[in-house]
Structure 1
C-alpha cells in the first residue's frame, strides 16, 4: 500500500499532459499542439484544455502560437481558455478591467465555436463566464429551467455543451459554480436540487454521480468552525448513502488514469468521513501518488495551507489502511 507523501499536480495521472505542461510553461508549444491533436475524445479534450489554459493564463505563449498558426483550432480554443481564466481571476480580485476582459473572453468563445462547431469547450467557457453575471442581467443567464424545482439560469448554454458531449463533467461543475455565485450565502437548497437532478439521469461511470459530494463540501466550507456538527454531518445516513452511491456508480466503473484527482479526493474524503474505511482505502490506492488539496484543506485550521491539507490526507489514509488490515 502507498505510504509516501502525496503530490499535487494539476495534470494528475495524465502522464502525457504532465509532460507537455512543462514545455508550455517555458514557451514551447509544439508538444501541446501534438498532444491536443491526438486527444481522442471530448471529455479528455475538455480536461486537458482546462488545465493547460489555467497553467499559462499569465503568459503570452498561446498568443505566440496563434501568431504562427492562426488557423489552428487547438490554439484558438486554448486562447479562449486563457481569456476566460483571466476574466475569472480579475473578477475574484475586483480588478477594474474585469468587464473588458469578460467581453474579450465572450468574443473569443464565439470565434472558437465558429471554427469548431462540434466542440463543447466554447459553450463550457460561456457557462463559466455566466457566474460573473451575479445579477443575471443577461437573458441567456436567466432562462427557464427544465424542471420546476430548479432555478432560472444559463440552461441553454448547458444544453449546448451537453449536446456536444453528454454529461460533460466540467459543464455541470460550471453550472454548480453559477448556483454558488447566485446564492453566495444561506441554504444550499438550489445546489442540492441541481446535483440531484443532474446525477439522477447519469449513466454508470459518469462523474456526475460525485456532484452531491461537492455540495456537501461546500456546506462544510460555509459552516467552518463548527467541527463537531460537521463531523456528525459526514456520518449521517444521507451522507453515507451519497458516498456509497458515488463509489458504486462511478468509481467501480472508471480507472485512475482517466479520473479527475479532485473527484477521487472528494470520494476518499466522503468515505473516510462516513467511516467506510475499507472502501475509502480502495480510493486512496487509486489516488496514489497524487491528491488535491480540496476538500482536505477545509479540515484544517488554515484553509489554503497545502502542507496542512496534506497532513490531514495522510492521517485519513493511514486510518483507512489500518482499519482495512484489521486487528493484528
Structure 2
C-alpha cells in the first residue's frame, strides 16, 4: 500500500487514533534498562554494572538486558573500558562477549571485510566469559549460540550436532542444551537456534518452521516460545516475496491452516507479563491477528503494547520494506483498524470470514 493511501486510511480514524505516534525504543517496557542504556549510549558503563548486579540470577531478565545493552555498546569501546578497569568482573566479561558477538553478526550480515577476524575474536571472548562467569549463567552460552549463524561453513564441530529428536535438523544442539540446562526455555536461545537454521546452507525453510512448531508442541502455555512460529511464517512470506515466488495464495497464509492454529496457540498463552515482555513478540502477535482479520483479539494486543512498536514485521506489509516511514504507517493503520469504534462493533465471525490481509 502506498503512502498516500495509508494516510487516507489513517485520516478516517477518530481523532485520538489519527494523532497516535508510536514509540520505538529498544528497552521496551523495561524502565530500569532504559536508564542503563542511556549511559551506554553516552559511553558510560557504571549504570550497566549496577543494573546487572541488581538483576542477579534472574536469567530471563539478564539475557534480555545484556542483549539490548550489547547492541548499543557495539558502536563504541565502552565495554572495553569497563573490562580494563575491572578485568575480573564476571559481568564485564559477559558483556564483552555479548558485544563481540554483536559486532561479528553485524559484519557477517553486511559482508564486511574483517568479518572472519571478528568472529574469531567473538569466539575467544565467549570462551573467556564461560570460564570467568558463574557456571550457572546461561548468557555466555546464549552468546556462543548466537555466533553459530556466522559459521556457514560449519568449521566449528559444536555447531553441527545430532538433534534431540530424529525428525529435527542437525545444528548447535549442544550449545542449546547448555543454555537449556541453565535456564529452561530461554527465549533468546531458541530464537538464535531458529536463526541458525535459516542461515545454515544445509537446512531449509521447512526445517526452521518445523523446529519452531516442535518448540511450541512442548512449551508451556505462558511461555513466549509459543510465538516462535509467527516469526517463521513472517520469514517464509518475506523469502517468497524477495525471490519473486510469492503468489496470491501466499498473501493469505494467515487465514489458512496450519497458520491459524499457530496463531491461536500463541494467543492462548498471552499475555506474557513482566518488565521483559518482548515488544517484538507482541508486535508479531498483533500483526498475525490483524492479518488474519481477528480484530478483536488484535485490539487486546495493541492495547497492551500502548505506544510501543517495532519496525518488523510491519515493514513486510509495505511496498518497500527498507522504508522506515512506511513501516510506521503500516503499524498505525493496523492499530487504527483494530481499535476504531466501528471495527469494535462489527468485529467477530463476519470479519474472520472476510478475505485475509496480505501478510
TM-score interval for Structure 1 and Structure 2 normalised by the shorter chain: over 0.9
Unpaired segments ≥5 residues, structure 1: none
Q: Matched residues in 2 for 1:325 and 1:91: separation?
A: 45
Query: 2:226 is matched with which residue?
Result: 209
Q: Matched residues in 2 for 1:295 and 1:45: separation?
A: 25
The SS at the match of 1:257 is coil
Query: 2:268 is matched with which residue?
Result: 248
Contact 1:256 1:287 in 2 (8 A): no
Unpaired segments ≥5 residues, structure 2: 1-13, 347-359
Q: CA deviation at 1:93?
A: 2.0
Go from structure 1 to structure 2 and tell me whether the alpha carbon gap of 1:276 and 1:269 turns closer, same or farther (over 3 Å shift).
same
Between 227-236 and 62-71, report the one with greater CA deviation.
Answer: 227-236
- Match status 1:238 vs 2:258: yes
Contact 1:143 1:155 in 2 (8 A): yes
Contact 1:243 1:270 in 2 (8 A): yes
Q: CA deviation at 1:256?
A: 5.9
Query: 1:261 is matched with which residue?
Result: 279
Task: Provide the aligned length of Structure 1 versus Structure 2.
Answer: 325
Q: CA deviation at 1:183?
A: 4.5
Q: CA deviation at 1:317?
A: 0.8
Q: CA deviation at 1:154?
A: 0.6
Q: Matched residues in 1 for 2:215 and 2:201: separation?
A: 19
Contact 2:152 2:201 in 1 (8 A): no
Query: 2:308 is matched with which residue?
Result: 290
- Match status 1:326 vs 2:345: yes
Contact 1:231 1:273 in 2 (8 A): no
Contact 2:254 2:292 in 1 (8 A): yes
Q: Matched residues in 2 for 1:261 and 1:317: separation?
A: 15
List aligned pairs for 1:28-177, cutoff 5 A. Answer: 28-40=44-56, 41-116=58-133, 117-177=135-195
- TM (norm. structure 2) is 0.86
The SS at the match of 1:152 is coil
Q: Matched residues in 2 for 1:162 and 1:121: separation?
A: 11
Q: Matched residues in 2 for 1:38 and 1:57: separation?
A: 23
RMSD: 1.9
Contact 1:239 1:274 in 2 (8 A): no
Go from structure 1 to structure 2 and tell me whether the alpha carbon gap of 1:184 and 1:292 turns closer, same or farther (over 3 Å shift).
farther
Q: CA deviation at 1:175?
A: 0.4
Q: CA deviation at 1:94?
A: 1.9
Question: CA-to-partner distance for each residue in 1:27-52, whole Å, 9 max, x for gaps?
Answer: 22111111111115101100000000
Contact 1:65 1:75 in 2 (8 A): yes
Question: CA-to-partner distance for each residue in 1:59-100, whole Å, 9 max, x for gaps?
Answer: 011111111111211111111111111111111222231221
Q: Matched residues in 2 for 1:306 and 1:293: separation?
A: 7
